[in-house]
Structure formats: C-alpha cells, structure tokens
Chain A
Amino acid sequence: MIFERLFSFDGTAELLGQGFVQSALLAAALLGLVAGVLAPLIVARGMAFAVHGTAEIAFTGGAAALLAGISVSIGAVLGAVAAGVVFGLLGLRQRERDSVIGVVLAFGLGLGVLMIALYPGRAANKFGLLTGSIVSVDSTNLAVLGTVTVVVLAVLAVVYRPLLFASTDPDVAVARGVPVRALSPLFAVLIALTTALAVPIVGAVIVLAVTVIPGAAAARVTSSPLVATLLAVAFAELALVGGTVASLAPGLPVSGYVATIAFLCYVGCRVVGRVRVTA
C-alpha cells in the first residue's frame, strides 16, 4: 500500500508537460550543477558541518522573513551569508570551528522554530522551509537561482585552482603565496548562496544531501579532482532531477526522494571503492 503510494508514475508524463513542473526541474538542474561543483571542495575542506550550520541559519533567516512579511528567499540568503562569513572566518581549525558552528546552529534553529510558530499564515509555507517545496518555484525564484548559479560558477572559474590548493594542501599553499585566509570566507559565501537557494527547494533539513553527499560519494571512487567534480555533478543532478520526477505522481515532499537517491549513490560508491582497494 505504502509502497504503491511512494513509487507511482501514474500521470507523471502528464505532469512533466506542466509549466510549474518544468520550472521545478530547471531549478533542480541549476542547483545540482552548483552543488555538485562545490561538493568535492566542501568535503576536502571538512566543511560538512559548516554547510549544515549554514543551512539551519538560512532556515532561521527564511523564518524571520516569513514573519516580517518579506521574501523568504531574501531572508534565507541573508541568514546563510551571515553564517557563512562567520564560519569562514573561523578558518580550517576543525575543533574550534565545529564547536562554534554547533553553538550558532542550535541557537539559530531554536529561534527559527519559534518564529515559525509565531507566523500566523498557512502551514504549507512553514513546512516548506524545513522539507522543501519544489513545485512552488516561480519565475522570480528561477531568475535568482540562475543569477546565483552564474555568479558562483564565474567566481569558481577564477579562484578554482588556488582554492583547491588551499583546501587540500594549506601549508604549501601559504608558502606559495596563495591567500589562504582570504579564500576561506569567500568560499563560505559561495556555499552560503548555494545553501540559501537549496533551502526553499529541498528544505533545510536535507541540504546536506545535495551539497555534501555527492562530494563524499565521489571521493570514495576517485581522487582526481576533475573526475570527482564531474561525478559529484552527475550524482547531484541524478538526486535532484530524479528525485523531483519521482515525487511528482505521489505528490509527496521532494526531499525524501532526493535524499534517498543521493544516499544510494553514496552507498554504491563505498561498495565500488572497497572493491577497488581490495582488488
């Protein structure tokens, strides 16, 4: 019964013809591209927890915007960028960074839940921030998403090589004159922008599914930076676009489907990685 409810494709073809579904798919594809490109660097820098923290603060920002009656996207972006800058300035010392992120994240999450509870409007808007509601993507969202995609990719095109150096080999990068300290908040802002956009689509709770899992999965099967990036983009697209399509007919939140596909990619990569090492 439940199984049939979860995996239904009755009317999927019909829905794919609808404008709002196509908008949703385009949004998913754009997000998958940015998230996939960033994911290997996030993993290399050990920033999974920072991404999680940024997502929760994006949620807080979105909730505050909802309460204040302004655009949720703007609130999410502001919250995420503020969190990103703070986390970025914490640098690469993992222990110190993790405890600060934990503190800020707990506070932000609590505050966000409180503001959601105070919001008098429709419940769907409240849940949207936590679980995602990709079918609500409108042309404004798409325009913002498209702009951010271009900005993030353009910045990466300029800083990618020194950023990879700083992320994987910081001591020698410093010695070679790479501005390691300055790159850290810059990268955090790129993550924040991506995260803030992912929050209204897939929800704060599983933002890690598209910004960390693809990178973690790719790292299991390759250590080539280029191949890792291509694989991560492929996994992120598979999870986001595939998850969106799979969620259409059942009419259930997209987040569960996205997270499941991403998780399966990761498990598959672990198995392949294990086989390759022992072989």
Chain B
Amino acid sequence: MTEVRDAATATRTAQEAVPAVSLRGAAMRFGERTLWDGLDLDVAPGEFIAVLGPNGSGKTTLLRVLLGIQPLYAGEVLVEGHPPARGSRAIGYIPQQKALAEDLPLRARDLVGLGLDGHRPGLGLRGRAVRRERVAAALASVGAERYADAPVGRLSGGEQQRLRVAQALVGDPSVLLCDEPLLSLDLAHQQVVSSLIDRRRQEANTAVVFVTHEINPVLPLVDRVLYLVDGLFRVGTPDEVMTSETLSQLYRTDVDVLRVRGRLVVVGADAPAHGHCHPGEEA
C-alpha cells in the first residue's frame, strides 16, 4: 500500500491528480454468470461518468464494490488511492427516491446528520456543535433550510432527494456514487437534483459515478459513459459510446441510436431476451 501512497503523493506534486476511482482488471462474477471482466477505468476528480445498461448488468454491483461492501471477483479497485472501506468519508452515496413512512422519527436535519456520522458507534453526544453547523451548511447548500425540522416522511419526493444530496455531501466526499437518484422524480425535480450534483462537482472537484437507466436528464453533464450489457462493456464519451454501431455490438443485435432535439433515443435495445429499460426510453 505504501507504494500506492507514495505514487499518489508524487503525482499530486506533479499536478496530476490521483484518480478518484481506479479499477484495474476488475471482474465480477456470480456463480457461472460474469457481469463484467477486465474492466479498466480511471475516474478523474471532477469527472462525471454515467453507468448505463440493462437490469442485471452489474451497475449497482459496481457501486457496491466502490462502497466496499462487495469484494471484486478479480482485479483491483482503489478509491482516492486506497482500497474502498466501509463508511469511508471519501464517498457520498445518493440512493433512488423511495417512499418513507410518515411517522418515521426523523427530521430532515436528522437524515442529513446520519449521513455524517450515523455509521459510528455511540450516542453522538460529543461534538454536537460542529455537527449541527455542518448539517446546517449541507441543508443550506441544497436549499432545504425551510423544511429542516419537518418530518422526512411528510416531504415530497423532490424534497427528499434534495435531502439525499445534502446527506451525501455533508461528509465532504471526493467521490459521489449515485444509484438512480432521479428515478420517479418529475422533470423539474430531476433538473434540480442533477444541477445540485453538478454544482458540487464544479465547486469541489468531486467525481461523480452516476448509475442510471435514462441518460437524457444528465446528458449535458456526462463526460464519459460506462455501458454494461450482459458481460460486455464499453467506456467512452457519449458521442463514442452512444452510437448505433457500438450499442449493436454490445447488445449483439441491431440497435439504432437517434438524436432528436439534443436527446438520445435508443431503439431496439429491448429486443434481446432481457426485457429491460434502456437509455432514451421515456419512463
């Protein structure tokens, strides 16, 4: 590990940042089924990478690997130059929006606070003043001060996802892992949430790994795409990957990618046996 660290310091002084995320020969396999194999990927600080692909292609599994809760089958993974650790401060995580129970004993500020230190043992009585300040700052950064003391279960889906952004950012992470954070939000809130994520990336140079079925809401933000299909994958800019030729190869069938008014529409990717959603398809 010291080797890696030394290398990290050296590259930093050489003004070339350590990759926020680095995968080398990474493979994931469940039983006989290979999700991906030989995956090499460096995500630079401040880079926005969208992870696309049908259900079961291993998108969420990739996030679990980066979170340190799922080991790789083979290969190496580094987050900020270190093997991923559970509860790492380097990582912020935004889940998809889910209905929360109305009588959940949490206020908005409690939800955000759990993102800061909820994984640590104890009652959380020490350092309360600092904690309060950081939570307040995170709430302000997503414009959620107005409902900071409201029960989370009574907030709208859009308000809840703003809080999810605050919850992920309160620990000041250098990598933001997003698991379909826009799913089940209306267009206006999709825009709000994705622009909050983008602003963080611009201001703090946070790398974003964004798992999604639907690339269009984030298309202007995407630097590169990782497209996973049934054991095959392709990494590149949207212009490189989101083409009829590349997707036809990945899906092993004829797929057409159309550009309509700045949006990508993928036709034919649902033809194979998987029966999945795909980017371009309107939910």
Q: Which residues of A contact B (CB under 8 A)?
A: 40, 43-44, 46, 157-162, 164-165, 168-169, 171-178, 216, 218-220, 222-225, 228
On whether A161 and B107 interact (CB within 8 A), knowing A171-B98, A176-B86, the answer reads no
Residues of chain B within 8 A (CB-CB) of A220 are 103
Residues of chain B within 8 A (CB-CB) of A40 are 105
Q: Which residues of B contact A (CB under 8 A)?
A: 63, 67-69, 85-88, 93, 95, 98, 101, 103-107, 110-111, 114-115, 117-124, 150-153, 164, 167, 177
Residues of chain B within 8 A (CB-CB) of A165 are 114, 118-119
CA distance A161 to B152 in the complex (A): 18
Residues of chain B within 8 A (CB-CB) of A159 are 121
A-B contact pairs, 28 of them (CB 8 A): A40-B105, A44-B101, A44-B105, A160-B124, A161-B121, A168-B105, A168-B106, A169-B118, A172-B115, A172-B167, A173-B114, A175-B63, A175-B69, A175-B95, A176-B86, A176-B93, A177-B87, A177-B88, A178-B118, A219-B103, A219-B105, A222-B105, A223-B104, A223-B107, A223-B151, A223-B153, A224-B105, A228-B105
CA distance A8 to B132 in the complex (A): 50
Residues of chain A within 8 A (CB-CB) of B115 are 172, 176
Residues of chain A within 8 A (CB-CB) of B104 are 44, 168, 223
B77 nearest CB across to chain A (Å): 15
The answer to whether A43 touches B103 (Cβ under 8 A) is yes
Q: Select which of A157, A173, A218, A224 is within 8 A of B110 by beta carbon.
A: A224
Chain A residue with minimal CB distance to B63?
A175
CA distance A173 to B151 in the complex (A): 19
| Most chain B CB inside 10 Å of its own CB: which residue of A46, A173, A175 | A175
Residues of chain A within 8 A (CB-CB) of B118 are 161-162, 164-165, 169, 173, 176, 178
The answer to whether A223 touches B105 (Cβ under 8 A) is yes
Chain A residue with minimal CB distance to B95?
A171
On whether A43 and B105 interact (CB within 8 A), knowing A158-B122, A223-B151, the answer reads yes
Q: How many A-B residue pairs have CB under 8 A?
A: 99
On whether A223 and B152 interact (CB within 8 A), knowing A177-B86, A178-B87, the answer reads yes
CA distance A168 to B103 in the complex (A): 10
The answer to whether B122 touches A157 (Cβ under 8 A) is yes
The answer to whether B123 touches A172 (Cβ under 8 A) is no
CA distance A158 to B121 in the complex (A): 5
Q: Select which of A161, A174, A219 is within 8 A of B123 by beta carbon.
A: A161
The answer to whether A162 touches B119 (Cβ under 8 A) is yes
Residues of chain B within 8 A (CB-CB) of A219 are 103, 105
Chain B residue with minimal CB distance to A160?
B123
CA distance A144 to B20 in the complex (A): 54
Residues of chain B within 8 A (CB-CB) of A225 are 105-106, 110
Q: Select which of A157, A160, A168, A173 is within 8 A of B119 by beta carbon.
A: A173
Extra inter-chain contacts (11) besides given A160-B124, A161-B114, CB under 8 Å: A157-B123, A160-B122, A161-B118, A161-B121, A162-B121, A168-B111, A169-B106, A172-B95, A176-B87, A177-B119, A225-B110
Residues of chain B within 8 A (CB-CB) of A216 are 103
CA distance A172 to B166 in the complex (A): 13
Chain B residue with minimal CB distance to A158?
B121
Residues of chain B within 8 A (CB-CB) of A46 are 101
Chain B residue with minimal CB distance to A162?
B119
The answer to whether B119 touches A176 (Cβ under 8 A) is yes
CA distance A181 to B85 in the complex (A): 18
Residues of chain B within 8 A (CB-CB) of A174 are 69
Chain B residue with minimal CB distance to A173?
B118
CA distance A169 to B152 in the complex (A): 11
CA distance A200 to B37 in the complex (A): 60
The answer to whether A161 touches B106 (Cβ under 8 A) is no
CA distance A43 to B107 in the complex (A): 16
CA distance A216 to B105 in the complex (A): 10
CA distance A161 to B124 in the complex (A): 7
A36 nearest CB across to chain B (Å): 13
CA distance A44 to B101 in the complex (A): 8
B162 nearest CB across to chain A (Å): 15
Chain A residue with minimal CB distance to B167?
A172
